Amino acid sequence: MRVLCILLLLTASLAQATTRVEGLRMWPSPERARLVFDISAPLEHRVFTLADPHRVVVDLAGATLAKPLEQPAADDRSLQRIRSAVRKKGDLRIVLDLKAKMRPKTFLLQPGNGHGHRLVLDLYPGDGAVAGTSAVKRVEPAQVLRDVVIAIDAGHGGVDPGAIGPRGTREKDVVFEIARELERAIAAERGMRPVLTRTGDYFLSLRKRIERARQHQADFFISIHADAFRDRRVRGASVYALSQRGATSEAARWLAKRENASDLIGGVSLEDKDNLLASVLLDLSQTATIEASLGAGEYMLKGLGRLGKLHKTRVQQAGFVVLKSPDIPSLLVETGFISNPSEEERLMQSRHRLAIARALVDGLRRYFGEHPPPGTILAARKHVITRGETLSEVAQHYKVSVDLLRATNDLKSDRIRVGQELRIPVASEG
Ligand SMILES: [Zn+2]
């Protein structure tokens, strides 16, 4: 029994230490060859070059190959072949056999744009700074700025059609179309990334919707609905944030179940706090979250008000379950009354749905412009290049690495021009 326990512990710690290399994608180009390793988690790595014949060696700490690596095309200008070997302590070594001398640069990318964690290896032709070196060169992993994540929640779904309009339009269909429109609009925004809580026509419980947003570490949550009322003349959009009473009842729930909750509230675990401290922390977090929601909601109402008369001109507050994340600002948007014949017709028009999505994104842009979460692209400062400045000087000035600067600005080379605007990453406050 005891032996078994130790064995289980060993396998558990080994499993934790292993990062899978899930694939390799290559973009050959005369100016710079880019190799992207898709990895299951960030990892420690080092890169060095060897001569006679020219090779680039990448050592990945605690990594395994999920499948054999992609090989370069026969006419690839820089790469001959890619080999891999398992080294001691479960490290993975990848060797690139080169056709000519190349200068490697690496950096890590966090999940974004439909990809997971990535290790990027750029190969520049010629000698450059690390000419002829066979010495081991330590490459620090760069912390790349992340997107602000917006969780979009299309209300209802599956067996729950939501409200139904006089012409038979179902709320669940209309709000899903608006959610899709919003998803596209957010994906097109610099520094923002959308995630949908439900991606099709199926039932999803309210708690599950919150859970999805937490899983994706959303910075904001928007639930899309359409209203209904027995008086068909009632019309207009409205926006809801969580009420203080809803927050209080939710706090009681969190405190009651916190013994087995691995959740973090605003990055803080409540598990090891005594009752009073835990409730104070929770209360602070909830108050800040409601205030943030109200602020963003006002911006959205401004935009929605330009599309037609509003049902309520101020953000309303209610105890809706989907709004109960203690640390994710959350809004529920009633996009109009599906029970009003002319609004039902408008909600069926794709132009109107697009206009709603744009109004919501405008609100988000304004809100996050004023309150960018630390460590995100939106929190980056700007620097305009002046005559004679080099990329490494800019990096030095702001105390960030050149790799990070290059990755943040999607630069394909170190060439910059006068007047060019660079985003300068601001260190995360942790
Ligand atoms: Zn609804």
What is the topology classification, in CATH, of domain 380-424? Answer: Membrane-bound Lytic Murein Transglycosylase D; Chain A (3.10.350)
Q: How many other CB atoms are found less than 10 A from the CB of residue 205?
A: 11
**CA atoms within 13 Å, Cβ hemisphere of 2:** 0
For ligand 1, the distance from its centroid to the CA atom of residue 209, given in whole angstroms, is: 14
Three-class SS of residue 77? coil
Pairwise CA distance, residues 230 & 425, whole Å: 52
Percent of the chain surpassing pLDDT 90: 43
Q: Across 98-107, 215-224, 243-252, 373-382, which has the greatest mean pLDDT?
A: 215-224
Residue 339 has pLDDT above 50, yes or no: yes
Question: Which is higher by pLDDT, 106 or 39?
Answer: 39
Residue 70 has pLDDT above 60, yes or no: yes
Residue 212 has pLDDT above 50, yes or no: yes
pLDDT in tens, 416-430: 888 898 888 765 433
For ligand 1, the distance from its centroid to the CA atom of residue 162, given in whole angstroms, is: 5
For ligand 1, the distance from its centroid to the CA atom of residue 226, given in whole angstroms, is: 5
For residue 285, give both structure tokens: 């977090």
Question: Which is higher by pLDDT, 180 or 407?
Answer: 180
Residue 330 exposed, middle or buried by CB count within 10 Å (0-12, 13-18, 19+): buried
> Average of pLDDT values for 164-185?
97
Which of the 8 DSSP states describes residue 365?
A: H
Percent of the chain surpassing pLDDT 70: 88
- Residue in 239, 229, 93 with CA at minimum distance from that of residue 165: 229
Pairwise CA distance, residues 27 & 35, whole Å: 6
Question: Which is higher by pLDDT, 407 or 94?
Answer: 94
Cβ neighbors of 256 (< 8 A, separation 6 or more) are none
Instruction: Spell out the domain ranges in the chain.
Output: 16-130, 148-370, 380-424
Report domain 148-370's class: alpha beta
Predicted confidence band at 135 (pLDDT cuts at 50, 70, 90)?
Answer: very low
pLDDT at site 354 = 97
Residue 155 has pLDDT above 60, yes or no: yes
For ligand 1, the distance from its centroid to the CA atom of residue 171, given in whole angstroms, is: 7
For ligand 1, the distance from its centroid to the CA atom of residue 156, given in whole angstroms, is: 6
pLDDT at site 137 = 36
pLDDT at site 414 = 86
For ligand 1, the distance from its centroid to the CA atom of residue 228, given in whole angstroms, is: 8
Question: Which is higher by pLDDT, 31 or 84?
Answer: 84
For ligand 1, the distance from its centroid to the CA atom of residue 253, given in whole angstroms, is: 24
For ligand 1, the distance from its centroid to the CA atom of residue 227, given in whole angstroms, is: 6
For ligand 1, the distance from its centroid to the CA atom of residue 190, given in whole angstroms, is: 30
DSSP H helices, 239-274, are: 244-256
For residue 205, give both structure tokens: 């419980």
For ligand 1, the distance from its centroid to the CA atom of residue 241, given in whole angstroms, is: 15
What is the topology classification, in CATH, of domain 16-130? Answer: Immunoglobulin-like (2.60.40)
Least confident of 3-12, 193-202, 247-256, 280-289: 3-12
Q: How many other CB atoms are found less than 10 A from the CB of residue 408?
A: 19
Long-range contacts: 211-216, Cβ < 8 Å, 24+?
A: 212/151, 213/151, 213/153, 213/325, 213/328, 213/330, 214/263, 214/325, 214/328, 216/149, 216/151
For ligand 1, the distance from its centroid to the CA atom of residue 163, given in whole angstroms, is: 7
Predicted confidence band at 30 (pLDDT cuts at 50, 70, 90)?
Answer: confident
